[in-house]
Amino acid sequence: MNDAARRLADRTLALVDIPSVSRDEAAVAAYVRGEMDATGLERRHDDGEGFYWATPRRDGVPLVLFAGHLDTVPVQGNLPGRVEGGDVVGLGASDMKGGLAVMMELAAWIGEASPALAVDVGMLFFTREELPVAESPVPAIFAACPELRDADLGIVMEPTDNTVQAGCMGNLMATVTFTGVSAHSARPWTGENAITRAVHGLSAVVDTPPRPVVIEGMGFTEVLSVTRIQGGIADNVIPDLVEARVNFRFAPDRDAASAEARLRELVGDAGEVTVTSVAPAGRVHVDTALVRALVASGGFALEPKQAWTPVAQLTDEGVDAVNLGPGATRYAHKRDERIAVADLERCFAALRRFLAGDAA
C-alpha cells in the first residue's frame, strides 16, 4: 500500500471510529475542525452544524465547492471499524466517511504541497443528512454564509462508485386517507368500506407506469409507489379508515409543486392527500467546462442520479452541482458496510489532477 493509500485508509478508519449517528455529530465535527484547521485553509463558517474552509479567492478563478455530510445511519454492530483485505470496513465507510477522507486529504495536500491550483477550493461539511430533509441545516448554512453561492461547481461526495452522477430525483412523501362508515361485516351494506374506497382510489396511482425523462442526455425514471397501507380494527368490522403512504420519486423536470399537483390529480376526490415531506429534484448540469474537466480527470463515467442527494440543495441555491464519491452504493447503510482503499485512491488522484488543471 503506497503512502497516499495508507493515509486515505487511516483517515477513513479514524472517521469511522468516531460514532456520528444523526443528531450526535459533535465528536466527529470536533475532529474535522481540528484536522482542517491544521491544513492552513481558512475556516470561513462554523455554526456547529455547518463548517466551511476555503483557499483564498482569486479574481477570475472559478470556485469548486466540495460538500459532505458528517452523520451516519444507526449502528448495526459495525463499530469499531477495521482494515480488511484492502477494504476499510465499518459504519459509514461508504456513506460517506470515505468521501470525507478524500476531502480532508485534498485539503492536507493543498496545505502541505502548496500546488498550483487551476481553481479555488472550498470544503463544506454538514450534519443531519440522513434525516428527513426538513431537518437539514444546509439552507440555513447558505443563508448564513452567502459566499457559498459563488461556487461555480459543487461536488457532493456521496457514494457513486467513482462515477459522476448528474442531478438527482425529487422525493415526495404523502399520506392518502380514505374514510368510510364502520359496520358489522355480516351487514356491510349498512356501512361504507374504507378499504374498498382505497382499492379504487389508489388504482390510478398503482397503475401509473414509470415515466422516462431525458435531460441533457441523462435518462431518469420517475416512479410512484404505495409503500405502506393500514386499515381495519377487527375481522368482523367494516373499516371506516384507511391510510396509505405514497412515495413519489419525481424527475428533475418537475418542481415540488408540480409533483404534488400530479399526485392530487391521480387520487382525485377519492381520498385526502397530505404531503408530509418533499425534497426538490436537483437540476442537471453536465455540459459545462468544469464538469467536462472533472469527468476527464478520472475517466469517470457520466450517469444520472436515480435517487435524492444534497445536489438538490446546492442547485436550489444556484450552484451547478454533481455527485461524485468513492463509496460503493451497494454497501451503503448495510451491516457489512465497507469501501475499497483502491477506490479511495482513484478518487483522490483524479481530484488532485482536476484541481491542478491536469484533467486531460
State whether residue 18 is helix, strand or coil.
coil
State whether residue 22 is helix, strand or coil.
coil
State whether residue 173 is helix, strand or coil.
strand
Is 70 within 8 Å of 90 (Cβ atoms)? Answer: no
Record the cell numbers describing residue 333, joined without a space.
447503510
DSSP code of residue 185: T
In 3D space, the residue among 291, 348, 346 whose CA is nearest the CA of residue 321 turns out to be 291
Among 25, 49, 71, 320, the active-site one is: 71
Radius of gyration of the chain (CA): 23
Residues 6+ apart with CB under 8 A from 24: 71
Record the cell numbers describing residue 103, joined without a space.
476531502
**Order of strands across the sheet that contains 302-304:** 42-46, 50-54, 120-126, 63-69, 153-156, 321-323, 164-166, 302-304
Is 360 within 8 Å of 20 (Cβ atoms)? Answer: no
**Is 105 in the active site?**
no
**On the CB side of 219, how many CA atoms lie within 13 Å of its CA?**
3
**Is 49 in the active site?**
no
**On the CB side of 83, how many CA atoms lie within 13 Å of its CA?**
16
In 3D space, the residue among 248, 249, 268, 275 whose CA is nearest the CA of residue 204 turns out to be 268
- Using CB atoms within 10 A of its CB, is residue 48 exposed (0-12), middle (13-18) or buried (19+)? exposed
Among 25, 49, 120, 129, the active-site one is: 129
Is 198 within 8 Å of 237 (Cβ atoms)? Answer: no
Catalytic residue numbers read 71, 129
